[in-house]
């Protein structure tokens, strides 16, 4: 496990999983939200995002967490050896987003772009419950394609599965007897 792609729904636990995995493997995760969002919630250009991610992907080991299908999605799928789809229920995601808001209210969480204080508004709630889930079928297809390509694929549907998977990871890779697939 040297090149890991983690994606899924807002509030599903992608960033937390990437951080915990990164600690175990000694790899600093790249959070795509921190690439996409410039200070004060200004969107970066696609060109700059692609350059940043392409540079990161030159490393021998990486964890890239986030969706952003327009930012080297196909290339990330092809280059990774491990793909993790966090497929958590929308109501759990909403609960997590609300909890995250109260935890980081008035400050910027570590996986977000500098100067992007945590916010919770109707537009984002709608994203978590409806709009952000429109690509679920495509996410499943990506996981199936990656499996056919010989990648190690994990589809994790709840916190218990995520924690079991993270607990199975050893510093040199994965402990095969504890895999959740």
Enumerate the domain spans of the chain: 3-178
Which tokens belong to 29?
Answer: 């995760």
- Specify the pairing of strand 82-86 against strand 62-65: unpaired
CATH topology of domain 3-178: Rossmann fold (3.40.50)
Burial 121-152 (b: 16+ CB within 10 A, else e): eeebeebbbeebeeeeeebeebbeebeeeebb
Q: Tell me, what's the pLDDT at 60?
A: 96
pLDDT of residue 174: 60
**Residues 115, 39: contact at Cβ < 8 Å?**
yes
What does the pLDDT profile of the chain (181 residues) look like in tens digits?
999 999 999 999 999 999 999 999 999 999 999 999 999 999 999 999 999 999 999 999 999 999 999 999 999 999 999 999 999 999 999 999 999 999 999 999 988 988 899 999 999 999 999 999 999 999 999 999 999 999 999 999 999 999 999 999 987 766 544 444 4
Rounded distance, CA 125 to CA 64, Å?
24
């Amino acid at each position: 496990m040297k090149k890991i792609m983690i994606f899924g729904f807002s509030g599903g636990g992608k960033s937390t999983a990437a951080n915990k995995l990164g600690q175990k493997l000694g790899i600093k995760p790249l959070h795509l939200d921190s690439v996409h969002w410039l200070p004060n919630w200004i969107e970066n250009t696609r060109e700059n995002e692609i350059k940043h991610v392409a540079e990161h992907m030159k490393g021998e080991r990486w964890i890239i967490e986030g969706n952003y299908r327009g930012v080297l999605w196909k290339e990330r799928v092809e280059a990774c050896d491990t793909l993790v789809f966090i497929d958590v229920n929308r109501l759990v995601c909403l609960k997590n987003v609300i909890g995250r808001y109260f935890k980081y209210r008035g400050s910027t969480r570590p996986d977000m772009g500098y100067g992007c204080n945590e916010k919770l508004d109707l537009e984002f709630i709608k994203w978590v419950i409806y709009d952000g889930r429109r690509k679920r079928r495509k996410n499943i297809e990506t996981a199936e394609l990656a499996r056919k390509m010989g990648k190690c694929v994990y589809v994790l549907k709840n916190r218990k599965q995520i924690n079991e998977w993270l607990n199975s990871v050893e510093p040199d890779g994965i402990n095969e007897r504890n895999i959740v697939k």
